[in-house]
Structure 1
Amino acid sequence: MAVSKKTALAFKSYQNRAQVLVKSYLLADAFMPYTFVLGGIFASKMVYDLTQLISTFYFRTYAGLTKIQRTEWNNRGMSSVHAIFITTMSLYFVFWSDLYSDQYTDSPITFRSSPLSTFALGVSVGYFISDLGMIFWLYPALGGLEYVVHHMLAAIAVAYAMFTGEGQLYTFMVLISEFTTPEINLRWYLDTAGLKKSNAYLINGVVIFFAWMVARILLFVYMFYHVYLHYNQVFQMHQIGVFLVFTVPSALGVMSLMWFSKIVKGMIKTLAKRQ
């Protein structure tokens, strides 16, 4: 009886210490961004492992893959989950949340942020760090130089917006482009599973075409138009923030146009074979 009471007291003591740690460190304003980034890294690792576990039991194709193919399979599962998460959050903040609404004139939209917006960006930074680490470790098996450039630009811009609170609206606008990631990953899965000649593969190609055109081309045009309308507010940001608002979307936009041309050529080639 005495032993169990001591055990209970010891557990209560550890619980109190944990609560103090959470309140004084993990949820302290100064450390929240770092906590969110670490959470993003942990979540990425967890999704990677879950993808591996689920695929082992439910996908017969998985067992026949090479080691590097299984790694890419798991990596794409991780990137798909991140894409769904950050696209959902970005759509909410850009089109439905009042946080960046022009109806509120108490502060420029380029300086508005919230704990929820910082959390979303922190998780995204954690993912980009995790994915970059894997790309560098296995380079160039998971992607060449274009993937490195894309992820580094995205990580820098998202991290800046998260830590400073500047330009978060435009960061979310660019992150909506992650909407195309699950479709791209599904195409790789279908190809790896030997379903390149299936109707699903054809439909996937058409979906990628329209999704890419909307999320990675038209949306970027809208973003720059929004910057033009709020030109004075944008230039109240720090010079680094202004530089990132103009250069990162421009660079990513050029890359998206290059990839889009390949998508168009691939779709035309596929449709020609079907006739």
Structure 2
Amino acid sequence: MGTNINLSLSTTFTSFIISQILFHFVSPWFSVKVSPGVHSLSFEKKIEWNSRIVSTCHSLVVGILGLYIFLFDEATIADPLWGYSAIGIMNIGIASGYLISDLLIIILYWKVIGDKSFIIHHCAAIYAYFFVLVYGVLIYIANFRLLAELSSPFVNQRWFFETLKYPKFSKANVINGVLMTVVFSIVRIAAIPPFYGFMCSVYGTEPYLRLGFLIQFTWISTCVVLDVLNVMWMIKISKGCIKVISLIRQEKAKKSLQNGKLE
């Protein structure tokens, strides 16, 4: 237990510090070098830009590690409820440190990037990850949930394109929009039925009962809250995607009419 706590605390603390450094120092310097247009953004836009850069970095790290654990971590695959994995604990620690950092940034810059749904999301995730980090249980489950982060880079990239005033119908914007919708629907929505199917299959078993009521309740309740948010966000993304596709069709129809008149 002592080794587990030390690994959890050290990883979470390190992730928090790195996230703060990325937000306050690395992103402002790096973003201007890569995209000069960032320099002319308003203070409010720069705050959100830096926040999304950190979000993208975090998503790529925990998403890729989560995918590795999901596919190859034998100990947790064999026992999803109680199987122990040091890399699994580290990944949850990385996610927790980032979430605490982002929560602090949201509160400090509430007028700029404040969003109640993100507060709910972060608090629910941090609360659930606390039990994973302290008791070393549900490591496989927690890392499976982190696969949802694989959609965040595409969501953030969409915002970057909009902020830099990329044309809505530009090839890069359209491709990213399609990928965002597809990846989001796979890792956050399509994963819901098998996840709750698994939850039902282990309900009442000896390993499940050994978790105790508090961890059982936390597992179920936080997942329900997070998935309600995922469905709400998916509806928003789908509406945006349908709107863009509709506008593209209208533009094509106009061009074909103009070409017909010219002929």
TM > 0.5 fold call: yes
Q: What CA distance in whole angstroms lies between the structure 1 residues aligned with 2:130 and 2:97?
A: 9
Q: Report the CA distance between 1:143 and its aligned residue.
A: 3.6
Distance 1:202-1:166 versus aligned 2 partners, 3 A rule: same
Change (3 A) 1:227 1:190: same
Does 2:10 match 1:35? yes
Q: For residues 191 and 94 of structure 2, what CA distance do their matches in structure 1 show?
A: 23
The 5-angstrom pairing of residues 206-245 of structure 1 reads: 206-231=178-203, 232=205, 233-245=207-219
1:199 aligns with 2:165: no
Q: Is the 8 A contact 1:121 1:159 kept in 2?
A: no
- Deviates further, 30-39 or 264-273: 30-39
Does 2:49 align with 1:100?
Answer: no
Q: Are 2:185 and 1:185 aligned?
A: no
User: Among residues 213, 216, 229, which one is paired with 1:255 in the alignment?
Assistant: 229
* Pairwise CA distance, 1:165: 0.8
* Among 165, 186, 190, the residue aligned to 2:136: 165
1:211 maps to a residue whose letter is V
Contact 1:170/1:245 (<8 A) preserved: no
Distance 1:97 1:212, change over 3 A: same
Q: 1:251 to 1:187 in 2, by over 3 A?
A: same
Provide structure 2 residue ranges, at least 5 long, that are not aligned to the other structure.
250-263
Alpha-carbon distance in 1 for matches of 2:114, 2:172: 25
Taking the aligned partners of 2:159 and 2:54, their CA distance within structure 1 comes to 14
2:241 is matched with which residue? 267
The alignment of Structure 1 onto Structure 2 pairs a total of residues equal to 244
Match of 2:252 in 1: none
Higher RCO, Cα 8 Å, sep 6+: 2
Instruction: Tell me the C-alpha RMSD between the 2 structures.
Output: 1.6
CA distance in 1, matches of 2:125, 2:26: 25
- As a proportion of its length, which structure holds more helix? 2
Instruction: Measure, in 2, the Cα distance between the counterparts of 1:245 and 1:153.
Output: 10
Q: For residues 132 and 167 of structure 2, what CA distance do their matches in structure 1 show?
A: 40
- Output the amino acid matched with 1:147: F
Residue identity opposite 2:219 in structure 1: V
CA contact (8 A) 1:187 1:201 kept: yes
Partner Cα distance (1:53, 1:188) in 2: 19
Larger radius of gyration: 1
Q: Secondary structure at the match of 1:113?
A: coil
Deviations 1:69-120 (A, max 9, x none): 1111111110101001111111111221102233xxxxx5312223222111
Q: Give the fraction of aligned pairs with identical amino acids, expressed as a percent.
A: 22
Q: Which residue, 136, 146, 150 being the options, matches 1:175?
A: 146
Query: Which residue is equivalent to 2:260?
Result: none
Correspondence for 1:21: none
Taking the TM superposition and a 5 Å limit, the aligned residue runs for 1:6-155 are: 29-48=4-23, 49-102=25-78, 108-155=79-126
8 A contact 1:113–1:165 mirrored in 2: yes
Distance change in 2, residues 1:115/1:203 (3 Å):
same
The one-letter code sitting in structure 2 at the alignment partner of 1:259 is W
Report the 3-state secondary structure (helix = DSSP H, G, I; strand = E; otherwise coil) of the residue aligned with 1:153.
helix
SS of aligned partner of 1:111: coil
Query: Does structure 1 conserve the Cα–Cα contact (< 8 Å) formed by 2:47 and 2:112?
Result: no
8 Å CA contact 2:81, 2:139 repeated in 1: yes
